[in-house]
Structure formats: C-alpha cells, structure tokens
Amino acid sequence: MSELNLILMGPPGAGKGTQAERLVDDFDLPYYATGDILRAAIAEGTELGKEAQPIVEAGDLVPDELMIGVIMERFDTPEAEDGFILDGFPRTVGQAEALDEALDRRGRSLTAALLIDAPAEEVIRRLSGRRICVKNGHVYHVENDPPKTEGVCDQDGSRLIQRDDDKPETIKRRLSVYREQTEPLIDWYDQRGALRRFDGSRPPDEVHSHIRATLATLALEAEL
C-alpha cells in the first residue's frame, strides 16, 4: 500500500485516542484528532475556540462547515502526503461526504474506517475515570491506567485534569448525539467496503494487536 489513510470511529470513550497513540508510533503518520484540535483552540481563545466552547461543553456537535475547514487545511500539507490518521472526523454524513470528495479530488482513497466499539456502561465508566494531561493530552484512567504519581503525567510531568465534557450529564448527551448523528456512518462505510470492526471492551494491547493484524492483511491484499 502506498498510502495509509485511516479514520478511527466509535462511541465516546471506546478508546480511539488510546489506539491512535499506538498507531502513530507504529506508522509515523500525522494524527488529526478534531476533539484535541478544538480543545487547543478553546485553551488559546481563538475564533474557532470561542465558537466551539459552548457546543463542546454541552456535548453537541460543532457545525460541519467549521470542522470540514479544520480538516481540509491539514490535508494539503506535505506531512499528510503518505497518509493520515483521523480521530473524531467524520462524525456526520455531511462530513463523510466532504472527506470522500476531498480524497477523490486528490486521487486518493480511504484505506479503512476502524470502528472501535464498546457498550454504553463501559464507556460511561471509562469517561468518568479518565484524566488527561494539560500539556499534550496524554490519557490516563484513575483505576485502569493510573499515572505513577497521582495527578502528574508520566510522559511530560504536566498536571492531569478531568475534561469539561466528562461530567455525567454531558457524557449522556455525547452518547445520544453519537447514536443519532454518527452511528449512521457505520453503514455508510460498510456499504463502501471500508469498515473494519474491533471489540473495544478488550484490553488496549489486544485491541491494538487486532488492528495491526487487520492492517497487515489489507496491505497484503493491496499487493495481490
């Protein structure tokens, strides 16, 4: 395969970011996570951040045209020539159509849509215990994956915080938004033969091994 163009899909808390960190290490690809991009814009107080803040904090979706613009400006950079990992985009049919068109126009195609799924009670437990570092967004869990020193990131020493949208009522809203607006994309990518499913309730290393094995098979098929 000449390029590796991947999207990570799945409900909030299924482990998209956790797997993305591993895949970035494996394949040295640029990683575009729309949630991270929005949180950085909110922290910096940019125009995008000001518009997105109340929407993100309520657990709703930022308008398509804003998100499509954010991703498209990253597509046309030399770093994304050999592939990319998208996490949290597309999240609506409108975003998926825009991505398809953008890839088509550039004579490129999606390698796979990696769906990491997990039951609602598990993702609620994970999100309630999640902590992220203020500097680079490294992810921990207070029970499953605690840092060596409480409240401090193992990797960069920065402070660990709870995301504003990881409060119980916002988690509920995010899950219902996912079901209404993002789940239809599962069929969308399945019909295009791009969907690959993974059981996100398995331990992170196991999920990672399954994704690696699937990508290796896709690479072999592409050579035939």
Of 23-31, 133-141, 150-158, 214-222, which part binds ligand AP5 (CB under 6 A)? 133-141
Question: CB 144: neighbour CB atoms within 10 A?
Answer: 12
Give catalytic status of residue 131 as yes or no.
no
Of 174-213, binders to ligand AP5 (CB under 6 A) are 174, 200, 203-204, 207
Give catalytic status of residue 106 as yes or no.
no
Q: Binding string, 74-113, against ligand AP5, x = CB under 6 A?
A: --------------xx-x---x------------------
DSSP labels for 104-152? HHTT----EEEEEE--HHHHHHHHHHEEEETTT--EEETTTB--SSTTB
The residue sitting closest to ligand AP5, measured at its beta carbon, is: 35
Give the pairing of strands 195-199 and 112-117: parallel
Q: Is residue 138 involved in binding ligand AP5 (CB under 6 A)? A: no
Closer to ligand AP5 by CB, 39 or 215: give it: 39
Question: CB 43: neighbour CB atoms within 10 A?
Answer: 11
Catalytic pick from 16, 39, 131, 196? Answer: 16
Q: CA 217, CA 214: separation in Å to the nearest integer? A: 5
Q: CA 109, CA 93: separation in Å to the nearest integer? A: 17
| Contacting residues toward ligand AP5, per CB under 6 A | 10, 12-18, 34-35, 38, 55-56, 59-62, 67, 88-89, 91, 95, 126-127, 130, 139-141, 144-145, 165, 174, 200, 203-204, 207
